[in-house]
């Protein structure tokens, strides 16, 4: 293992300025093409938010668009939710690390061996010539999707108990496997921080500004409520990306956060 890239388990500084909050807001570029995504980037130019590239755009535009975002100065969360046998995930994690993203994820349901393999693949890539000295990406695990209600989790997925119990169990597995944190709904953040410590990163989808449509999200909070719970990053999609004026929508959210 490359000791220059060991986990750093410490609290993230509290956002103070508008730029601080912008850096904790992840914008999902859920578009069918790079050209469509560039339209939003043009709208939001100059606001230092975190860009999240998921399956739809990555499968359409590929690694080159991730490199483009990095060249533009954005931090990038590659949200592909790796979930496969350990050897395959290790290889995928190594490839993603070489791409230079700032964060990527795996699915905790893959088990401890798979989670550990993801970290090992990442560390192996960081030790390679030409990569050594690169910034270590944050490696996080998906617990339960924010679209998953307890009824769905129990009756369809076949996991008994409450959603929070499952999230906490998966988070403990991720921490034991050496990961930096988890993706979880804002409703579980407080319990996660209590169980794993303030330095365990939480990325929270299911964020909806006051008055917004919940869409297909089952467990939601406003940005202000989520940060009050102690989350590190919030993912805000359609309230910004589907707004008539995305820049004004994001600026309104930042203004509200600065007023708390």
Task: Name the token pair of 53.
Answer: 């590239």
Rg value, the chain, Cα? 18
**Which pLDDT tens digit goes with each residue over 155-189?**
999 999 998 999 999 999 999 999 999 998 888 99
User: 232 phi and psi, to 5 degrees?
Assistant: -95, -40
Q: Active-site residue numbers?
A: 81
Give the model's pLDDT for residue 255.
Answer: 95
Give the model's pLDDT for residue 7.
Answer: 46
Residue 1 or 76, more confident: 76
Residue 195 or 7, more confident: 195
Residues in the chain: 260
Instruction: Tell me the range of 55-59, 134-138, 207-211 where mean pLDDT is highest.
Output: 55-59
- By percentage, how much of the chain surpasses pLDDT 70? 92
**What average pLDDT does range 124-130 have in this prediction?**
90
**Which pLDDT tens digit goes with each residue over 23-47?**
999 999 999 999 999 999 999 999 9
- By percentage, how much of the chain surpasses pLDDT 90? 80
**Residue 55 pLDDT > 70:** yes
Stretch (H or E) spanning 28: strand 25-28
Whole-number Å distance between alpha carbons of 240 and 252: 10
**What average pLDDT does range 121-147 have in this prediction?**
87
**pTM for the structure as a whole:** 0.90
Stretch (H or E) spanning 53: strand 50-53
Task: Name the token pair of 225.
Answer: 């409520």
CA-wise closest residue to 223 among 189, 173, 193? 189
Give the model's pLDDT for residue 213.
Answer: 59
Whether the CB-CB separation of 228 and 198 falls below 8 Å is answered with: no
């Amino acid at each position: 293992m490359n000791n220059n890239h060991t986990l750093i388990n410490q609290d993230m500084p509290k956002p103070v300025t508008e730029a601080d909050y912008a850096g904790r807001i992840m914008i999902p570029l859920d578009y069918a093409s790079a050209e469509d995504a560039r339209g939003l980037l043009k709208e939001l130019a100059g606001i230092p938010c975190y860009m999240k590239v998921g399956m739809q755009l990555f499968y359409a535009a590929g690694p080159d668009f991730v490199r483009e975002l990095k060249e533009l100065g954005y931090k990038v969360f590659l949200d592909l939710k790796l979930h496969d046998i350990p050897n395959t995930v290790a290889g995928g994690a190594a490839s993603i690390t070489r791409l230079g993203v700032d964060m990527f994820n795996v699915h905790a349901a893959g088990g401890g061996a798979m989670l550990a393999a993801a970290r090992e693949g990442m560390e192996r890539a960081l030790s390679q010539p030409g990569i050594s000295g690169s910034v270590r990406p944050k490696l996080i695990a998906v617990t339960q999707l924010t679209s998953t209600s307890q009824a769905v989790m129990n009756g369809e997925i076949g996991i008994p108990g409450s959603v929070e119990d499952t999230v906490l169990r998966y988070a403990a597995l991720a921490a034991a496997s050496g990961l930096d944190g988890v993706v979880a709904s804002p409703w579980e953040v407080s319990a996660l921080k209590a169980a794993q410590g303030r330095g365990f990163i939480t990325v929270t989808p299911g964020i909806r500004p006051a008055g917004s449509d919940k869409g297909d999200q089952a467990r939601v909070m406003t940005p202000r409520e989520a940060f009050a719970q102690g989350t590190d990053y919030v993912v805000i999609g359609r309230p910004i990306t589907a707004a008539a004026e995305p820049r004004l929508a994001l600026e309104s959210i930042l203004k509200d956060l600065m007023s708390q």
